[in-house]
A and B are shown apart, each in its own frame.
Chain A
Amino acid sequence: MTTHTSTAPRSASHPRGVNRGRGLRAVPFLVPATLLYVYFLAYPMVDSVRLSFFEWSGFRTEEPVWVGLQNYVRLFTADPVFWTAAKNSIIWVALSLALPVTLGLLIALGLNRAMLGRNTMRAVIYLPAVFAPITVAAMWRWIYNPTLGALNQFLTAVGLESWAQQWLGDPTFALYSVFAASVWTGVGFTMVLFLAGLQQVPPELVDAAKVDGAGRWQVFRNVTVPALRPTTAVVVILTIINSLKVFDLVVGMTGGGPAQSTQVLALWSYTQSFANHTFGLGGATATVLLIMSLALVVPYLVWALRGDDR
């Protein structure tokens, strides 16, 4: 059998006018998705930024009043919760990049080799990811219950009574207790992404490295890690975005409390808009969150894509 492979670009075989015609014909098919995207994503985002320069209760009977940068000034200088929420969001991002990503990679490496019950273990570890966050929150709230919860009862049963805590009631522990639930539910998804990435590592490169005398660590560092680069980029970007917009677990487990100590920017923006009826402040908080997201994601994306080009 003879295979003919053309190296010329496919488009080069078509006259320019035909391409333009195909492009125009595609437009109507793209319109519905574009309209939905603009209406449900782009417009609310732009409108949220616009609202951050107004004072508005959200009632249509009241006209938004232009206040310039006043909401931002109030947010940065007089809002009693904003800086706590900002700090918690940054802690959440840092911990998410450190723990679930590392754990997901280690588990993926462990479960990428042939072993008995491999698929069952993969399924078990991935299982929490399919639960709705609010369900996860309810489960963990019970686990953390100071008197009836499984965690304190377990600690008491094994003689570690002094370790028992008010996991969600003590501001010292509350944020990290919620984060533990996030790790439980999130690590499976990270594992699946890394497992998919590991399938792309060329086995001939691994074999070649071994023939050259490379040890396990050297193979991992010089072959596996570079080959996982695109997967890692996806995992890191998704982790950052998901961390900055964390909302449902916090709402379900603490509601931002105690005393706003587990408050995060996404929830604080929602609270200001829909609970406090201060849509200007809510918009300002959302805008800060948007800038933070872009500041974290864009540089990493540029760096990761440059790496791909190399």
Chain B
Amino acid sequence: MTTTTVRRRALIAATLTGALALTACNSGGEADGGDDQLTIWMLTNEDSRVEAMDLMTSGFEEANPGVEIVVEERGTDAHKDAMRRAAGTEAGPDIYWYWRGPGLGGELVDLGVSLDMTEYYEEYGWDDRFTEPALANITQYGGYHGVPWTVQGQGIYYNKELFEQAGITDLPTSYDELVAVADQLAAAGTTPMALGGTVNWHVMRLLDNLLETFCGAETADRLNTEQTGWDSEACVTEAFTELQTWGDEYLNEGYMGVAQEDSAQLFFQGNAAMTIEGTWFNQQIVDNGMDPENVGVFLFPTDTNRIYGFGEGPYVNAMSDNPDLAAEFLDYITSAEIQEQVYQAWGAISVNREVEADTSNPLNSAWVEYFANAEGIFTNNDQNLSLEQTTEYWRIQNSVLTGDIAPEDAGTTFQGFVDSSS
């Protein structure tokens, strides 16, 4: 090989490298295309949801020739990460799927990522379309952010056979009665409640309900919005004390080392009498071989008449070039005609008040009644608190359960963190 050949090859290699580098610099363009394209970012869909999404996008494209809808799916963390990187840039989607609540959806609203859709609510009359709990999720930040899609309720699912075997005839209507039920189940040799501790948020459902029970609706809300101190409310200590009691006496053995899906198996296999789950659990019960007739659900007896729940759904990106088209699409997918065909892929109840719930699963009927009679919703604290606070909230919750933090120190410890982080 001559020196000239080597030099020529080196020159070609250098040129290609330079071109590659320039290409790399130019990557990461806009996700959305022209005026007739809508880009939607959402969580990875299960099969039933993929079908529902196809139905909605193809239906809209047929009704609007020339319009193309591009759906990009990601896992939970990847989706959050993508939104963080795209926030405030033109690289984001037209519509993004996100959770409701000040901690998650609210963070993006505060950063100006979500478009205030007040004008579209007036134009399409959406105020009359959606149920009240669903709309409350949209208006909680001020203005109208996104459109309702799901409102998930969470309660105590119980195994009727195990309740019967323990001699329990009436469902608990107060916290003391719930504890009595747990005592009866434990005395009968049944694990009263199954929860998975490794994922934090599963046991958190118990703590959130205990705070609602002992603090009441108003104080619980004030705690979550930093209007009162966690160290100044006696009810916080009471809630953590009860949490410790549940951990010591009523939860499945070794729950702190068990994931949520493993604890669910204890319930499905009849090894635990109760668990705290949500409306999505109605279908999972069937999928895991349980007869829904043998399962019941009741609301945690907080005595506030609020449903423990949360919402999720589509928001319109404030940077979208096609907000009108995005609103038109959202109007289409939340219409009664489409909702009747797709809502069950996401939950037990549609957010459209005209759509009646499918009551072939008796658990769906129970939720319809609970939502009809509830006086509002209190949201999971991992959606109320900031991300940083949530991590600490879980650490304190688990430390109380492992005995590393005394219940009476829990509120002070958390308030100390809130103060130092702000």
Q: What chain A residues lie within 8 Å of B11 (beta carbons)?
A: 28
Q: Which of B89, B107, B258, B401 has the most CB of A within 10 A?
A: B258
**For the complex, what is the distance from the CA of A35 to the CA of B25, rounded to whole Å?**
12
Asked whether, in the complex, the Cβ of A274 is within 8 Å of the Cβ of B17, the reply is no
**For the complex, what is the distance from the CA of A78 to the CA of B256, rounded to whole Å?**
26
Q: Which of A27, A60, A271 has the most CB of B within 10 A?
A: A60
B387 within 8 A of A: yes
For the complex formed, measure the closest distance between the CB of B272 and the CB atoms of chain A, giving whole angstroms: 10
B417 within 8 A of A: yes
Asked whether, in the complex, the Cβ of A59 is within 8 Å of the Cβ of B17, the reply is no
User: Beta-carbon contacts of A78-91 to B below 8 Å, as 1s and 0s?
Assistant: 10110000000000
Asked whether, in the complex, the Cβ of B395 is within 8 Å of the Cβ of A60, the reply is no
Asked whether, in the complex, the Cβ of B89 is within 8 Å of the Cβ of A166, the reply is no
Asked whether, in the complex, the Cβ of B111 is within 8 Å of the Cβ of A32, the reply is no
What residue in chain A is nearest B6 (Cβ atoms)?
A25
A144 within 8 A of B: yes
Binds A, one of B134-142, B197-205, B222-230, B358-366: B197-205
15 contacts between A and B (CB under 8 A): A32-B13, A59-B87, A59-B111, A60-B86, A60-B88, A61-B87, A61-B111, A81-B395, A145-B258, A147-B271, A169-B254, A257-B197, A261-B402, A274-B81, A276-B391
B399 within 8 A of A: yes
Asked whether, in the complex, the Cβ of A35 is within 8 Å of the Cβ of B252, the reply is no
**CB-CB under 8 A for A61 and B112, given A255-B199, A258-B197:** yes
Q: What chain B residues lie within 8 Å of A61 (beta carbons)?
A: 87-88, 111-113
Give chain A's interface residue range (CB within 8 Å of chain B).
Answer: 35 or more
For the complex formed, measure the closest distance between the CB of B120 and the CB atoms of chain A, giving whole angstroms: 23
What residue in chain B is nearest A34 (Cβ atoms)?
B17
**CB-CB under 8 A for A25 and B111, given A32-B20, A260-B395:** no
What residue in chain B is nearest A263 (Cβ atoms)?
B395
Q: What chain A residues lie within 8 Å of B391 (beta carbons)?
A: 271, 275-276
Q: Please, how many residues of chain B have a CB less than 8 angstroms from a CB on the other chain?
A: 50
Q: What chain A residues lie within 8 Å of B112 (beta carbons)?
A: 61
User: Beta-carbon contacts of B87-130 to A below 8 Å, as 1s and 0s?
Assistant: 11100000000000000000100011100000000000000000
For the complex formed, measure the closest distance between the CB of B375 and the CB atoms of chain A, giving whole angstroms: 33
**For the complex, what is the distance from the CA of A27 to the CA of B7, rounded to whole Å?**
11
For the complex formed, measure the closest distance between the CB of A40 and the CB atoms of chain B, giving whole angstroms: 11
Asked whether, in the complex, the Cβ of A174 is within 8 Å of the Cβ of B387, the reply is no
Asked whether, in the complex, the Cβ of B10 is within 8 Å of the Cβ of A28, the reply is yes
Asked whether, in the complex, the Cβ of B420 is within 8 Å of the Cβ of A74, the reply is yes
**For the complex, what is the distance from the CA of A27 to the CA of B266, rounded to whole Å?**
63
**For the complex, what is the distance from the CA of A174 to the CA of B420, rounded to whole Å?**
29
Asked whether, in the complex, the Cβ of B87 is within 8 Å of the Cβ of A170, the reply is no
User: Beta-carbon contacts of A25-39 to B below 8 Å, as 1s and 0s?
Assistant: 101110110010000
Asked whether, in the complex, the Cβ of B197 is within 8 Å of the Cβ of A80, the reply is no
For the complex formed, measure the closest distance between the CB of A261 and the CB atoms of chain B, giving whole angstroms: 8
Asked whether, in the complex, the Cβ of A257 is within 8 Å of the Cβ of B200, the reply is yes
**For the complex, what is the distance from the CA of A167 to the CA of B387, rounded to whole Å?**
28
Partner among A32, A35, A74, A80 whose Cβ is within 8 Å of the Cβ of B395? A80
Asked whether, in the complex, the Cβ of B252 is within 8 Å of the Cβ of A147, the reply is yes
For the complex formed, measure the closest distance between the CB of A170 and the CB atoms of chain B, giving whole angstroms: 7
> Which A residues contact B (CB, under 8 angstroms)?
21, 25, 27-29, 31-32, 35, 57-62, 74, 78, 80-81, 141, 144-148, 166-171, 174, 254-255, 257-261, 271, 274-278
**CB-CB under 8 A for A166 and B395, given A60-B85, A60-B87, A61-B112:** no
Q: What chain A residues lie within 8 Å of B395 (beta carbons)?
A: 80-81, 259-260
Q: What chain A residues lie within 8 Å of B14 (beta carbons)?
A: 27-28, 31
For the complex formed, measure the closest distance between the CB of A136 and the CB atoms of chain B, giving whole angstroms: 16
Asked whether, in the complex, the Cβ of B398 is within 8 Å of the Cβ of A258, the reply is yes
- Known A-B contacts: A60-B86, A169-B254, A255-B199. Give 14 more (CB < 8 A): A25-B7, A28-B10, A28-B11, A32-B13, A59-B84, A59-B88, A62-B111, A80-B417, A144-B257, A145-B262, A146-B257, A257-B256, A258-B398, A258-B401
From residue 47 to 97 of chain B, which have CB atoms closer than 8 A to chain A?
77, 81, 84-89
User: Beta-carbon contacts of B245-284 to A below 8 Å, as 1s and 0s?
Assistant: 0000000111111110010001000010000000000000
What residue in chain A is nearest B256 (Cβ atoms)?
A169
Label chain B's interface by main secondary structure.
helix
For the complex formed, measure the closest distance between the CB of B365 and the CB atoms of chain A, giving whole angstroms: 33
Asked whether, in the complex, the Cβ of B197 is within 8 Å of the Cβ of A169, the reply is yes
What residue in chain A is nearest B271 (Cβ atoms)?
A147
User: Beta-carbon contacts of B172-214 to A below 8 Å, as 1s and 0s?
Assistant: 0000000000000000000000000111100000000000000
Asked whether, in the complex, the Cβ of A277 is within 8 Å of the Cβ of B387, the reply is yes
- The 3 nearest A-B residue pairs measured at CB: A146-B254, A169-B257, A169-B256
**CB-CB under 8 A for A277 and B198, given A25-B6, A35-B17:** no
**CB-CB under 8 A for A275 and B387, given A61-B87, A259-B399:** yes
Q: What chain A residues lie within 8 Å of B413 (beta carbons)?
A: 80
B21 within 8 A of A: yes
Q: Which of A174, A259, A260 has the most CB of B within 10 A?
A: A259
B356 within 8 A of A: no
Partner among B3, B86, B198, B398 whose Cβ is within 8 Å of the Cβ of A168? B198
From residue 4 to 22 of chain B, which have CB atoms closer than 8 A to chain A?
6-7, 10-11, 13-14, 17, 20-21
Partner among B89, B200, B253, B404 whose Cβ is within 8 Å of the Cβ of A147? B253
Q: What chain B residues lie within 8 Å of A254 (beta carbons)?
A: 198, 257
User: Beta-carbon contacts of B300-313 to A below 8 Å, as 1s and 0s?
Assistant: 00000000000000
Asked whether, in the complex, the Cβ of B398 is within 8 Å of the Cβ of A166, the reply is no
**CB-CB under 8 A for A278 and B388, given A28-B10, A61-B112, A78-B420:** yes
Q: What chain B residues lie within 8 Å of A145 (beta carbons)?
A: 254, 257-258, 262
For the complex formed, measure the closest distance between the CB of A141 and the CB atoms of chain B, giving whole angstroms: 7
Asked whether, in the complex, the Cβ of A259 is within 8 Å of the Cβ of B10, the reply is no
Asked whether, in the complex, the Cβ of A169 is within 8 Å of the Cβ of B392, the reply is no
**For the complex, what is the distance from the CA of A31 to the CA of B20, rounded to whole Å?**
11
**CB-CB under 8 A for A258 and B17, given A61-B88, A169-B197:** no
**For the complex, what is the distance from the CA of A56 to the CA of B266, rounded to whole Å?**
42
**For the complex, what is the distance from the CA of A167 to the CA of B197, rounded to whole Å?**
13
**For the complex, what is the distance from the CA of A203 to the CA of B11, rounded to whole Å?**
50
For the complex formed, measure the closest distance between the CB of B144 and the CB atoms of chain A, giving whole angstroms: 21
Q: What chain B residues lie within 8 Å of A74 (beta carbons)?
A: 420
What residue in chain B is nearest A147 (Cβ atoms)?
B253
**For the complex, what is the distance from the CA of A28 to the CA of B197, rounded to whole Å?**
54
Q: What chain B residues lie within 8 Å of A59 (beta carbons)?
A: 84, 87-88, 111
Q: What chain B residues lie within 8 Å of A25 (beta carbons)?
A: 6-7, 10
